[in-house]
């Protein structure tokens, strides 16, 4: 071969090599980047080319897929009772993407998850159309309906979370006001975009797309006294529910000249923990927190799950109990004021741990992932999260919470028929100098005659239109909690 031909051959060989390197680089190194590129319309078209798998509650689908026309997206998502289930499902929109379960479990629902690889490969050879798998939730339909309808009837804003104390399974997760994910599931620049814009916080003061059960933190008010009582028992400050506490009346917060007030003329002087929880004595629990100190109160709050995010698998915001507080700030935080803030999920976890003899289970809402054939792919196993109380101290605290419902401010949660209810009411300050209507809270659990506890509930209600003097956890929130607990109990019979 003469020299010019050799040079041409070498040059062509280099071109072929460069082409092979580039081809492999694009196919393997850049594959994921190109696949997720917002301008790669083929991926989006493929996602909506087949019906999406479903999200399941009580063995029934609460989602579906509908064939569209006039678009290269063949199917769009539909929802049954969309506003009621939106805090669980989230949305899957051709125009605006997806969130919550629709996003987290997108691979299973679209059929693209690696766990479905062998099935998808087999379908390629058989010519069978690709299908999405299902997400089976832990939710209880009757409990969710009771929670959502209770909030809707009350009006205003609020949230409900119900847990199975023995497993951590989420039985209800409701937020109000809410939205219908079906209203913007397509990609119409008129109807879907218009519906989306109307739901955005900038255009809607109600902020209906906020998941108040998981993403909103509220001052928990007197419901936090359950945590403070647990800290008192766990640290040996008091060892029973019925010994007198060292709680003068009035009580001046350390380092200040400010007396911590109680609500009304209630018997709080040296009151026992039982009486103090029943009547919600600020002086008793404020002094308990101050006596224990910031470090011990913070340690107990963290055992209940404060100061960290939780993934159900939907992310829940971290609840807050502060560090580096002085004694008076610790006192205020120990009665659910100052910087203390909690999600409804967090306070349901508090009630759940007490009901479960001191063991806190990790909350979760996905029971099982299924292949399109309904074969199980992945099953969630209950997992212990922490041990905030010993069994002995948890049972002492149960007896105190049961007194609240039997003889105190939680009477509206009584069920009867052999069901024992423990609870704690709370009315939390809202706005600068408590200028706005307060938040009404209620924590509770139900215990059956066999000693088992199938449900623990947290309810928070924010009603700007209510008469201020009528707002109380026992008045607004306890009836909702009662209905949710009854729904769970009845569904197990």
The β-bridge relationship of strands 157-163 and 455-462 is antiparallel
Question: Which phi and psi angles does 227 have, rounded to 5°?
Answer: -65, -40
**Long-range CB contacts (< 8 A, 24+ apart) of 76-83?**
76/48, 76/185, 76/186, 76/187, 77/52, 77/102, 77/181, 77/182, 77/185, 78/182, 78/185, 79/180, 79/181, 79/182, 79/185, 82/179, 82/180, 82/181, 82/182, 82/183, 83/148, 83/178, 83/179, 83/180
- 446: tokens are 């139900």
CA–CA distance, 324 with 322 (Å, rounded to integer):
7
Nearest to 442, CA basis, from 159, 229, 198, 60 = 159
Give the start-end residues of each E strand in 219-325.
Answer: 310-311, 315-316
Radius of gyration of the chain (CA): 27
* Burial label, 64 (beta-carbon count in 10 A; 0-12, 13-18, 19+): middle
222 is known as an active-site residue: yes
- 172: tokens are 């209800």
Of 183, 222, 322, 472, which residue is the catalytic one?
A: 222
CA end-to-end span of the chain = 91
DSSP class of residue 210 equals S
The length of the chain, given as a count of residues:
493
**Active-site residue list:** 222
């Amino acid at each position: 071969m003469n020299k010019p031909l050799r040079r041409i051959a070498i040059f062509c060989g280099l071109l072929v090599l460069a082409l092979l390197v580039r081809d492999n680089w694009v196919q393997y190194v850049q594959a994921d980047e190109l696949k997720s590129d917002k301008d790669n319309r083929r991926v989006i078209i493929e996602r909506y080319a087949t019906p999406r798998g479903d999200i399941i509650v009580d063995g029934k689908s609460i989602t579906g897929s509908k064939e569209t026309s006039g678009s290269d997206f063949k199917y769009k998502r539909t929802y049954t009772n969309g506003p009621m289930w939106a805090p669980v499902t989230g949305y899957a929109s051709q125009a605006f993407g997806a969130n919550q379960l629709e996003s987290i479990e997108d691979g299973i629902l679209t059929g693209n998850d690696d766990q479905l690889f062998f099935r998808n490969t087999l379908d390629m050879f058989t010519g069978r159309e690709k299908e999405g798998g299902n997400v089976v939730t832990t939710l209880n339909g009757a409990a969710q309906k009771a929670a959502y309808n209770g909030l809707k009837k009350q009006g205003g804003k609020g949230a409900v979370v119900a847990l199975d104390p023995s497993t951590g399974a989420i039985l209800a997760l409701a937020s109000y006001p809410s939205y219908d994910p079906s209203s913007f599931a397509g990609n119409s620049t008129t109807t879907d975009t218009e519906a989306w814009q109307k739901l955005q916080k900038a255009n809607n003061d109600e902020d209906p797309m906020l998941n108040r059960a998981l993403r909103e933190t509220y001052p928990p008010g007197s419901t936090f006294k359950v945590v403070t009582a647990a800290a008192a028992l766990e640290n040996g400050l008091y060892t029973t529910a019925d010994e007198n506490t060292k709680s003068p009346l009035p009580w001046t917060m350390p380092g200040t000249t400010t007396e911590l007030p109680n609500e009304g003329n209630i018997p709080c002087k040296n009151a026992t923990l039982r009486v103090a929880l029943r009547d919600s004595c600020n002086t008793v629990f404020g002094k308990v927190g101050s006596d224990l100190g910031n470090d011990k109160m913070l340690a107990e709050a963290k055992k209940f799950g404060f100061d960290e995010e939780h993934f159900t698998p939907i992310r829940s915001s971290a609840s807050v109990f502060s560090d580096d507080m002085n004694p008076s700030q610790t006192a205020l935080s120990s009665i659910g004021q100052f910087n203390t803030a909690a999600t409804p999920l967090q306070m349901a976890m508090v009630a759940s741990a007490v009901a479960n003899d001191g063991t806190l289970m990790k909350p979760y809402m996905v029971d099982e992932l299924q292949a399109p054939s309904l074969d199980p792919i992945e099953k969630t196993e209950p997992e212990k999260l922490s041990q905030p109380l010993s069994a002995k101290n948890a049972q002492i605290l149960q007896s105190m919470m049961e007194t609240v419902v039997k003889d105190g401010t939680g009477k509206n949660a009584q069920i009867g028929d052999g069901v024992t209810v423990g609870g704690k009411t709370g009315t939390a300050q809202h706005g600068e100098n408590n200028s706005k209507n307060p938040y009404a809270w209620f924590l509770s659990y139900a215990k059956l005659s066999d000693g088992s506890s199938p449900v623990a509930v947290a309810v928070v209600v924010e009603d700007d239109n209510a008469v201020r003097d009528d707002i109380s956890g026992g008045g607004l929130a306890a009836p909702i909690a009662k209905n949710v607990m009854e729904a769970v109990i009845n569904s197990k019979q």
